[in-house]
Amino acid sequence: MVRKILSYPDPELKKKSQPVTIINDNTRELVRDMAETMYDAPGVGLAAPQIGVHQRVIVIDVAGQDEQPELIVAINPVIIHAEGESYEEEGCLSVPKYAANVRRHAKVVVKGLNLEGEEATWKADGLLAIAFQHEIDHLDGILFIDHISQLKRELFRRKYRRSSQEPEGNE
Q: Of 21-40, which residues contact Ni ion (CB under 5 A)?
A: none
Total residues at the site for Ni ion (CB under 5 A)? 1
Within 29-147, strands assigned E span: 45-47, 57-60, 72-83, 86-92, 95-104, 107-113, 119-125
Other CB atoms within 10 A of residue 73 CB:
22
DSSP state of 60: E
Site pattern 107..146 for Ni ion (x: CB under 5 A): ----------------------------------------
Scanning 2-10, 22-30, 65-73, 89-97 for contacts with Ni ion by CB under 5 A, the matching segment is 89-97
Tell me, yes or no, if 135 is annotated catalytic: yes
| Residue 59 contacts Ni ion per CB under 5 A | no
How far the first Cα of the chain sits from its last, in Å, is 29
Nearest CA to 99 out of 90, 111, 108, 86 is that of 90
Q: How far is the CB of 15 from Ni ion (least distance, A)?
A: 15
Residue nearest to Ni ion (CB): 92
Catalytic option among 29, 135, 154, 166:
135
Nearest CA to 96 out of 49, 143, 54 is that of 143
* Nearest to Ni ion of 5, 20 (CB atom): 5
Among 75, 92, 113, 128, binds Ni ion (CB under 5 A): 92
**Nearest-angstrom CA–CA distance, 144 and 135:** 9
Scanning 66-74, 92-100, 109-117, 151-159 for contacts with Ni ion by CB under 5 A, the matching segment is 92-100
**Nearest-angstrom CA–CA distance, 27 and 57:** 9
Scanning 19-27, 68-76, 90-98, 102-110 for contacts with Ni ion by CB under 5 A, the matching segment is 90-98
Residues annotated as catalytic are: 135
Binding site for Ni ion (CB under 5 A): 92
